[in-house]
Amino acid sequence: MAGNLWKPYSRVPLLGWFFGALVAVTLERLAGAPLAQFLGLQKIPVLFGFSDMLKTPVSIPNVLLYLLAVYVVPAAAVTRLGASPANGIAAALYRFPMAVTAAVHLALLYAVLHVWAGASDYRVLVLRLTLIAVMLTLSLNVINGYMGEFSCSHPGFMALGAYCASVLTIGLFVDAELFGAASLSPALGRFLFPVALVLGGLLASFGGLFVAIPSFRTRGDYLAIISLAFLFIVKSLIENLEFVRGPRGLSGQPDWADLPTVFLWTVLCVWSVNNFVRSTIGKALNAVRDNEMAADAMTVDTRKTKIAAFLFGAFWAGVAGGLFAHVMRYVNPGNFGIQNLAEVLAMVYFGGLNSVYGSIVGAVSISLLGEALRPLEIFKWIIIPLLLILVMIFRPTGLIAFRDLDVASLLKPKANPGEGG
């Protein structure tokens, strides 16, 4: 039965799914509020109704009905009926250069997210933080997954990027007491914001060197301790730097990290990480992970490989940190501690090592789960770790580990049934 239901969907291309989702979210924008009211809900269930259901269990059937009526049924219907036109369009698109095809898909994906998030500022905020979590997870997966080193310095890289970008934007564009009058007009800021983020990323990369160089001589537990030490060094450094106001934290960042900006950076991050790990140096990373001596013997320059991986991972962590600072509009050295590390590590290992898919799935599911289960208070801290343990028992390397993200095959039209499997 389930197989029969599923069969038509196996030949829906990605484009078709995006169309279906777009119709569903548009429908929610148009008819969501009256439908929610009809069902006795006060408002549109904001995050798939989790907080409504957990706070007032009576509303569970109504929320489920809402989700069914707004998301599941329309999306399923449109996807199914639109499968052949979608395949046609996908086939036509596929003849263009890959960049054009990918851009069309991304535009459609952005449209879905934009319309969905447009219903509430809370959704926008959750989405932005989730996308930042995706970037962080991916950048950590390069080091912990692809290269197989257990690095604990990620919040440190993030802090470096966050503080560097914040100091630049506050100092240059915001009239904060801290650094005197703004020297550049805020109108210019939007264009120079990416520069600040990149500089933050580069500073984080520079910090990455302090972990990369010891990694020539040590591995495993020892490197983990060194990288943990690096995290504490960065935190103490910022706490003792008076010009960034030490433990009081830095506030007043301009509100430039809006949804399109964060989305674009996330796309850039996914694209570059995916290319990086599929390149020769990406394969060299795997070789270093599996057997460093053998890799060295097979002419892999292990030092260069390690440095590249650390600098690259730290760069994206720094950029994510810069975005995080501008979403929160406040940074404090306490934000970048062990708890933060534990969260990113959980996302990496939950989603799956050595896999771009896995990182995205891990970051999105842990972020959304964490947000959805917040009404449970202390039980949330039992449920999520328990899930993690279950994943570790049944899939020791994470949900979707060791899988390549092949963009070309993803965007391909699916004309022949059964081909996808």
Partner 1 sequence: MRTRSWVAVCVLAGGLAFFLSGTVQAQTIKIGINAELTGDIPKVGEGTKYAAQMWLDDVRAAGGLAVKGKKYPVELILEDNESKAESAVKAATKMITEDGVLVMVGPQASKQAVPAGGIANNYKTPMITPWSTNPDSTKNRPYVFRACFLDPFQGPVLANFITSEFKFKKAAVLYDVASDYPKGLAEFFKKAWEGLHGPGSVVAYESFTTKDTDFSSQLTKIKNSGAQVLFTPQYYNEVALIVQQAHQLGWKNPIVGSDSWGSAETVKLCGKDCYGLFFSTHYAAAGATGATKAFIDRYKAKYGYVPDDVAALTWDAMHLVQKAIQDTGGLTGDLKKDRENVRAAMGRIKKFKGITGEMTFSGGGDPSKCAVIVRISDKGQFEFYKSACP
Nearer to partner 1, 278 or 380 (CB): 380
Nearer to partner 1, 105 or 235 (CB): 235
CB of 12 to partner 1, least distance (A): 24
CB of 274 to partner 1, least distance (A): 27
Determine whether 387 is exposed, middle or buried from the number of CB atoms within 10 Å of its CB (0-12, 13-18, 19+): middle
| Cα dist from 292 to 152, 300, 311, 402, whole Å | 21, 9, 19, 19
Cα gap 136→128, rounded to integer Å:
13
Nearer to partner 1, 239 or 404 (CB): 239
CB of 398 to partner 1, least distance (A): 24
The residues that bridge with 250 in the sheet, in sequence order, are: 331
First to last CA, the chain: 17
Q: Are 286 and 195 in contact (CB under 8 A)?
A: no
Cα gap 229→370, rounded to integer Å:
28
Residue numbers at the binding site for partner 1 (CB under 8 A): 37-40, 43, 46, 51, 58-59, 61-62, 64-65, 120-122, 125-126, 129, 235-236, 239-240, 246-249, 251, 324, 328-330, 332-335, 339, 371, 374-375, 377-378, 380-381
Nearer to partner 1, 117 or 353 (CB): 117
CB of 48 to partner 1, least distance (A): 13
Nearer to partner 1, 111 or 237 (CB): 237
CB of 47 to partner 1, least distance (A): 9
CB of 367 to partner 1, least distance (A): 10
What residue has token string 């771009």? 356
What are the structure tokens assigned to 328, written together? Answer: 């929160």
Nearer to partner 1, 66 or 310 (CB): 66
| Cα dist from 224 to 148, 151, 212, 344, whole Å | 11, 5, 12, 15
CB of 239 to partner 1, least distance (A): 5
| Cα dist from 48 to 66, 324, 351, whole Å | 9, 24, 21
| Cα dist from 191 to 169, 194, 197, 370, whole Å | 11, 7, 11, 34
Nearer to partner 1, 375 or 420 (CB): 375
Q: Are 238 and 331 in contact (CB under 8 A)?
A: no
